[in-house]
C-alpha cells in the first residue's frame, strides 16, 4: 500500500451560464487556497466563454466544458455548438465526472447551484461521496426572494441532496446581514452544516500587472454593470445624467462588460465620445485596480462588485436589477439599511434628475468602514480554515469502494 501523497487537490465547479460572478468568485477562492498552503493545487470546472481572459496563479488551472447561456425567458441553450441543450448538458456532465475521476481531489467545492445546471454535477457529487471525498456547497450571501427559491429548490429536490451529498455549506456572508435560506423549510441536519465565512476580500493586482489605466488625471467615478448582459438600463441612466448636466462631482469611466451586446456598446460609445467627462472600455479582467483607484462606484450590486466595494472601502451607489431574481435588490436594500452603500431603485421612469441627485450626494456619503461590522471581510481566511480542516481529516473509505489514492483511481 502506497503512503498518502504529499500534495493535495481541490476541485471547484463554477456555475456560470451568464455573467462573470461565479467564475470570479471561484477564481478568488482558488487563489486564496493555493496562497495559504503550498501543498494545494486547484482545478476549476467552468463553461465560461471568457475564462481564458483571466490569469491564474501557479497551481491553479481550469477545464472549460461546452458553454450554455440562459435566455431572458429563463430557458437555456447551447452557446456555440449547434446541439440541443440536453446533448450539451450530457457532454458537460460526462466531462466533469471523468475529470473528477482522474484529478482525484481531496475536496470538491460546488458554487451556488447544489446539483449544477439541470443536475449536471450530481454524478460527480455521487462519485465523491463513494470515494469518501468531502463536498462543500458555497452560497453567496443572498440567493433570491424566499418564495421563489423555495419553489425552485423543491422542483430540483435540493434538500435531499444537501443532506446526502454535502458535508458542509459555506455562506460567503454574515448572518446579521442576511441568511440566504431564510424563509425556507430547512431541516436541522442541513442547518447544522452551514458555516458563515464573511465576505470574500479582494485585492488589486500589482502595479506591474495592473490592467487598463484610468483615462483621467483626477478622481473619477467607476460605473460597472458586471458582465454587462443585463446592465444596459443602468449604463443608459448614468449617461443621461451626464448629458443633462456638466457639474456632476467626478468624470465617469464606464465598463460595459463582455456580455453587453455589440449594438448597445456601439450606441453608448457614440454618446460617450461626445461628452468630455465620460470615457468607456468594454472589459478589464483586472477590474480591481480600477475599483481601487475610483473615488466612487455605481454598480448593479452583484456579489463580487459588492465585495470589491467593501474591500476597497468605496462610496457606492447601487442600482439593482429585479428580474429574473431579487438578489441584487435585497443586497442593496440591506446594504443601505446598514449604511454600507446607498441604493437608487429603478422606478421605470428613470428620470436623469434622480440619477443626478444621487450622484451629487455620493461625495458626502460615508465609506463602508465607517459602519464597523465584525468579521465583514474575513471570508477568505475562513474558507482557508474550513477547507484545510476538511482536506486534512481522515478519509473514510466505504467498504464497497476501491481504496482511493492507491494506484490509479477507480472511475
The answer to whether the beta carbons of residues 321 and 329 sit under 8 Å apart is yes
Answer whether residue 209 shows pLDDT above 70. no
Instruction: Output the pLDDT for position 374.
Output: 95
- Same domain for 166 and 79: yes
Same domain for 241 and 356, yes or no, is: yes
Whole-angstrom Cα distance, residue 249 to residue 360? Answer: 6
Are residues 165 and 308 located together in one domain of the fold?
A: no
- Is 397 contained in some domain? no
Residues 229 and 355 in one domain: yes
Identify whether 1 is part of a domain.
no
Establish if 232 belongs to a structural domain: yes
Give pLDDT tens digits for 356-375: 999 999 999 999 999 999 99
Q: Tens digit of pLDDT for each residue in 133-144? A: 999 999 999 998
Confidence of residue 208 (pLDDT cuts 50, 70, 90): low
The predicted model gives 251-270 an average pLDDT of: 95
38 and 169: one domain? Answer: yes
How far are the Cα atoms of 230, 231, 267, 268 from residue 235, in angstroms, in the given order? 10, 6, 11, 8
Stated as kind and residue range, the H or E segment containing 11 is strand 8-13
Q: Does residue 406 lie in a domain region? A: no
Tell me the backbone φ, ψ of residue 26, rounded to 5 degrees.
Answer: -65, -40
If you average pLDDT over residues 384-391, what whole number do you get?
97
Counting every residue, how long is the chain? Answer: 411
Whether 98 is covered by a domain: the verdict is: yes
- Provide the pLDDT for residue 17: 61
Domain count, the chain: 2
pLDDT band per the 50, 70, 90 thresholds, residue 37: very high
Residues 6+ apart with CB under 8 A from 278: 239, 242, 251, 252, 254, 271, 272
Q: What average pLDDT does the chain have?
A: 91
277 vs 315: CA distance, rounded Å: 20
Q: How far apart are alpha carbons 30 and 197 in whole angstroms? A: 15
Residue 47 in this model has a pLDDT that exceeds 80: yes
| Helix H or strand E segment including 99 | helix 85-103
Give the pLDDT score at 175: 94
Q: Do 232 and 327 belong to one domain?
A: yes
Q: What is the pTM of this model?
A: 0.91
For 81, which DSSP code? S
- Same domain for 148 and 197, yes or no, is yes
Same domain for 384 and 316? no
Q: What is the pLDDT of residues 266-322, one digit of tens each?
A: 999 999 999 999 999 999 888 999 999 999 999 999 999 999 999 999 999 999 998
pLDDT in tens, 325-368: 899 999 999 999 999 999 999 999 999 999 999 999 999 999 99
- Same domain, residue pair 381 and 364: no
Let me know if residue 387 belongs to a domain: yes
Lowest mean pLDDT, pick from 3-12, 253-262, 296-305: 3-12
pLDDT in tens, 64-123: 999 887 766 667 788 888 888 899 999 999 999 999 999 999 999 999 999 999 999 999
Regarding whether 157 and 254 lie in a shared domain, the answer is no
When computed from its CA atoms, the radius of gyration of the chain, rounded to whole angstroms, is 22
Closest CA to 111 of 13, 202, 29: 13
- Which residues lie below 8 Å from residue 360, measured CB to CB, with a gap of 6+? 248, 249
Domain that holds residue 214: 207-370
CATH number at residue 178: 3.40.50.2000
Mean predicted confidence (pLDDT) in 41-57: 93
399 occurs within a structural domain: no
Examine the domain organization and report whether 99 and 182 are in the same domain.
yes
Same-domain status, 261 and 345: yes
CA atoms of 404 and 100, how far apart (whole Å): 12
40-46 and 168-172 strand pairing: unpaired
Has residue 141 been placed in a domain?
A: yes
CA dihedral 120, 122, 127, 131 (to 10 degrees): 140
Cα–Cα dist 310/140, whole Å: 15
Amino acid at each position: 500500500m502506497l503512503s498518502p501523497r504529499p500534495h493535495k487537490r481541490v476541485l471547484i465547479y463554477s456555475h456560470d451560464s451568464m455573467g462573470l460572478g461565479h467564475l470570479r468568485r471561484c477564481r478568488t477562492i482558488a487563489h486564496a487556497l493555493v496562497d495559504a498552503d503550498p501543498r494545494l493545487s486547484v482545478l476549476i470546472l467552468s463553461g465560461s466563454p471568457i475564462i481564458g481572459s483571466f490569469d491564474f496563479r501557479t497551481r491553479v488551472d481550469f477545464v472549460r466544458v461546452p458553454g450554455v447561456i440562459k435566455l431572458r425567458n429563463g430557458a437555456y441553450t447551447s452557446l456555440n455548438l449547434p446541439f440541443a441543450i440536453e446533448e450539451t448538458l450530457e457532454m458537460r456532465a460526462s466531462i466533469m465526472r471523468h475529470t473528477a475521476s482522474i484529478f482525484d481531489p481531496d475536496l470538491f467545492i460546488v458554487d451556488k447551484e447544489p446539483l449544477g445546471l439541470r443536475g449536471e454535477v450530481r454524478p460527480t457529487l455521487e462519485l465523491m461521496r463513494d470515494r469518501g471525498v468531502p463536498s462543500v456547497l458555497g452560497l453567496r450571501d443572498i440567493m433570491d426572494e424566499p418564495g421563489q427559491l423555495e419553489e425552485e429548490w423543491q422542483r430540483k429536490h435540493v434538500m435531499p441532496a444537501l443532506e446526502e451529498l454535502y458535508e458542509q455549506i459555506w455562506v460567503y456572508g454574515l448572518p446579521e446581514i442576511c441568511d440566504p435560506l431564510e424563509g425556507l423549510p430547512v431541516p436541522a441536519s442541513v442547518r447544522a452544516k452551514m458555516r458563515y465565512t464573511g465576505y470574500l476580500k479582494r485585492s488589486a493586482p500589482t502595479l506591474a500587472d495592473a490592467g487598463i489605466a484610468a483615462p483621467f488625471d483626477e478622481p473619477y467615478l467607476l460605473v460597472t454593470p458586471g458582465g454587462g448582459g443585463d446592465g444596459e438600463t443602468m449604463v443608459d441612466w448614468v449617461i443621461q445624467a451626464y448629458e443633462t448636466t456638466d457639474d456632476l462631482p467626478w468624470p465617469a469611466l464606464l465598463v460595459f462588460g463582455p456580455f453587453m451586446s455589440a449594438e448597445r456598446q456601439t450606441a453608448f460609445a457614440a454618446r460617450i465620445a461626445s461628452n468630455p467627462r465620460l470615457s468607456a472600455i468594454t472589459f478589464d479582467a483586472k477590474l480591481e485596480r480600477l475599483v481601487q483607484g475610483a473615488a466612487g462606484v455605481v454598480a448593479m450590486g452583484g456579489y463580487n462588485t459588492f465585495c470589491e466595494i467593501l474591500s476597497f472601502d468605496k462610496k457606492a451607489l447601487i442600482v439593482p436589477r429585479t428580474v429574473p431574481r431579487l438578489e441584487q435588490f435585497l443586497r442593496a436594500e440591506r446594504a443601505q439599511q446598514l449604511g454600507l452603500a446607498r441604493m437608487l431603485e429603478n422606478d421605470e421612469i428613470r428620470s436623469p434628475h434622480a440619477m443626478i441627485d444621487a450622484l451629487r450626494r455620493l461625495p458626502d456619503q460615508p465609506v463602508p468602514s465607517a459602519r464597523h461590522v465584525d468579521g465583514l471581510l474575513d471570508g477568505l481566511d475562513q474558507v482557508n480554515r474550513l477547507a484545510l480542516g476538511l482536506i486534512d481529516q481522515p478519509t473514510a473509505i466505504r467498504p464497497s469502494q476501491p481504496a482511493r489514492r492507491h494506484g490509479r483511481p477507480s472511475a
